[in-house]
Structure 1
Amino acid sequence: MFEALVSLCLVADPTACREVLLPGFEASAQSTCAEALRAQAPDLVALFPTLAPGVPPRCGPVGTALDFEEAAPGVFVHLGRIAEPDRDNLGDVANIGFVIGQESVAVIDTGTTRAVGEGVWRAIRARTDLPVSHVILTHMHPDHVLGASVFVEAGAQVVANAALARALLDRQANYLESIATLVGPGAFVGTRAPRPDLAVEDRTQIDLGGGRILTLRTWPVSHTGTDLTVHDEGSGLLFAGDLVFQRHLPALDGSLRGWQRVMADMAALPVTRVVPGHGGPVLDWPDAAKPMQRYLDVLAADTRQALDAGVRLGDAVLTIAESERPRWALFDAYNPRNATNAFTELEWE
């Protein structure tokens, strides 16, 4: 198989370059790919206004696809690394899924960079030539949304919590700058923040054909203010995004009390398997809710104890939830932030 590629460089740094996948030109023969590329030459200036093409687009052998396991018939899940984005993992640090219906495919989260999204595209193309109709974003964090552009260029609609567009707009400059620094400017070439096409206020359904129905549901402020879950009605599998973590310490960027309530509501859902945002990649439910609930309860109890004792924030973050350290990866990266957010929320109870 062959695909279309173009070498792009940062205008501000001509040494930061990457060969970027142009979706939609895949073919079994290089000549067929090249003919399609000539017939439908993409407008590179419109697609990549801040980048400089090094050479004209070409067709080459298909690149490396991301690894996915089939969690249920037609439902595929990728396990992201339990790590922060860096120059080794190139941003492959979050779980990603896709669901194949009879008429189209839906992608659930897209990774931290366009390069990760391209790996997802290749994994889909290795299994089906159906169009990718929807990209569903479970929340606003960059490790889940910044790989979306390759699917947008292929014609997919971006679907998200109605609050995501504003929240991502407010943060996208910081996200783009910080991720580019973490993974390196070359690896980040072609990455940009998506804009949702379909805003979900409460619940909606997406029909991928052949009775493959996805039910999307938003949740009150908890992990973030933009959380959304995806339930594949056929398999019963629930994509929980970062409302559920396993091994990776939960990251609080919304409301601690809200997250505790949401976890209780989710534990009562009539589902038996969940794909978390990190860890797993498939967990038994509701058993997998217990470590999350314990951590959030300890975080709340320790914070209230510190507040009752009159401990200052700077000292409190050194002890809050410290008993949970042995149970989670990336504790030092996230627990101080969690403790700070919990402290500032609960001091006004």
Structure 2
Amino acid sequence: MRHFDPRSALARLAAVAAAVFCCAAAWADEPLPVTEVAPGVFVYQAPYQLAAPANGGAVGNVGFVVGGEAVAVIDTGGSAAAGRRLLAAVRARTDLPIRYVINTHFHPDHTLGNVAFRDGTARFVGHRNLRAALAARAQTYLDNNRRIVGAAAFEGTEIIYPDEEVADTRRIDLGGRTLVLEAQPTAHTNTDLTVFDEATRTWWLADLLFVRHTPAVDGSINGWLKLIEKAKTRPADRVVPGHGPAALPWPDAIAPEERYLERLRRDVRAMVSAGRTMAAAAREAGLSERDAWDLFDDFNARNATAVFREMEWE
């Protein structure tokens, strides 16, 4: 029988930790790989993963638009390291100044990389509710995501609040290129902001559109489905989802998400009407959709719980 050698075990653990650190260090300053989905529109297609040290919190689609005079960054990733990698991707494509950093909503995988762009020249822009939403969650986001992403990637991460707020519609000029920012009613969250590039008719829907990655309901399912119905009539050549491929044709891209949300609402509404419990909804609602989505078991029960609370008050 081999005897357990604690010194050997500790050595192996140290070797594994060193390997993880080396891997993280190897990509820490590497530009995020971006795809030019339309002229001057660059998107990082994130993996279908939860945030972890191995991905540095870069688990939401982010990117940038290059105009004749300046750049607008759209979302920044889930850590300072993810933000630095996005900044490196911008600089690999252009040396034009970054004039705007646009946050499409408050979730950490879209906002915690902001700090990488805090150089005194970029203006941070978001929905009129964004500041309050971030302030309410600031310490929780920092504490939880430091643990989830790991100290190496999270070092230097701060909450960066918007300098400018959008209450309705705002147009920003990048030099011969106009982006239309629209504050949306409560849907995925109460801070949803979309970005439309007039030059290429590319509509950045962010987390109003999930493809393959299970949607996350953190606002109002009724509001989300209402917004989808209206959005389908909007002309666009392509859309950029918050999670999914870098770009997709519109409006076909929204069909699977709409089906999932409708199924979830229908299931939960029936359970509320039958006097079933929230716990039952978390276990059973939406299960017919499981095979169509990645990370289903990580998100669906939480979605069902949120929808149950909303359906109780119909």
TM-score by length of 2: 0.90
Instruction: Map residues 304-319 of structure 1 onto 2, 5 A cutoff.
Output: 304-319=269-284
Unaligned runs of 5+ in 1: 1-16, 19-61
Q: Which runs of 4+ in 1 moved over 4 A?
A: none
| Structure with the higher fraction of residues in helix conformation | 2
Q: Which residue of 1 aligns with 2:129?
A: 163
Q: CA deviation at 1:164?
A: 0.4
How many angstroms does 1:312 deviate by?
A: 1.0
Q: Which moved more, 1:337-346 or 1:178-187?
A: 178-187
Q: Which residue number in structure 2 is paired with residue 331 of structure 1?
A: 296
Cα offset, 1:154, TM superposition = 5.0
Match of 1:14 in 2: none
1:112: Cα distance to partner?
0.3
Are residues 1:129 and 2:95 paired? yes
Report what 1:344 is aligned to: 309
Query: For residue 166 of structure 2, what is the aligned residue in structure 1?
Result: 200
Indicate the residue corresponding to 2:229 in structure 1.
Answer: 264
SS state at 1:106 partner: strand
The amino acid across from 2:70 in the alignment is S
Q: 1:161-310 alignment to 2 at 5 Å? A: 161-209=127-175, 211-310=176-275
Question: Which of 38, 57, 62 lines up with 1:96 in the alignment?
Answer: 62
From the superposition, tell whether residues 318 and 63 of structure 1 become closer, same or farther in structure 2 (CA, over 3 Å): closer
- What is the SS of the residue equivalent to 1:102? coil
Question: Contact (CA 8 Å) 1:260, 1:293: kept in 2 or not?
Answer: yes
Contact 1:139 1:160 in 2 (8 A): yes
Check whether the contact 2:225–2:258 (CA below 8 A) recurs between aligned residues.
Answer: yes
Residues 132 and 154 in structure 1, CA contact (< 8 A), matched pair in contact too? no
Question: Structure 2 counterpart of 1:192, which letter?
Answer: E
| One-letter identity of the residue aligned with 2:292 | R
Return the alpha-carbon distance in structure 1 between the equivalents of residues 52 and 253 of structure 2.
Answer: 28
C-alpha offsets along residues 51-108 of structure 1, whole Å, 9 cap, x if unaligned? xxxxxxxxxxx94111001111111111011111001111110001101111110000
Work out whether residues 232 and 238 of structure 1, in 8 Å CA contact, stay in contact via their aligned partners in 2. Answer: yes
Q: How does 1:63-142 map to 2 (within 5 A)?
A: 63-142=29-108
SS at match of 2:136: helix
Secondary structure in structure 2 of the residue aligned to 1:288: helix
The Cα shift of 1:186 comes to: 2.2
Equivalenced residue count is 289
Q: Supply the distance in 2 between the matched residues of 1:97 and 1:312 (Cα, whole angstroms).
A: 42
In the aligned structure 1, how far is the partner of 2:42 from the partner of 2:285? Answer: 37
Greater fraction of residues in strand: 1
Task: For 1:107 and 1:126, locate their aligned partners in 2 and report how far apart those are by CA, in whole Å.
Answer: 14
Looking at structure 2, the residues matched to 334 and 223 of structure 1 have their Cα atoms a distance apart, in angstroms, of: 13
Among the aligned pairs, what percent are the same residue?
46
Q: Name the CA distance, whole Å, in 1 between partners of 2:309 and 2:36.
A: 42
Distance 1:64 1:348 in 2: 48
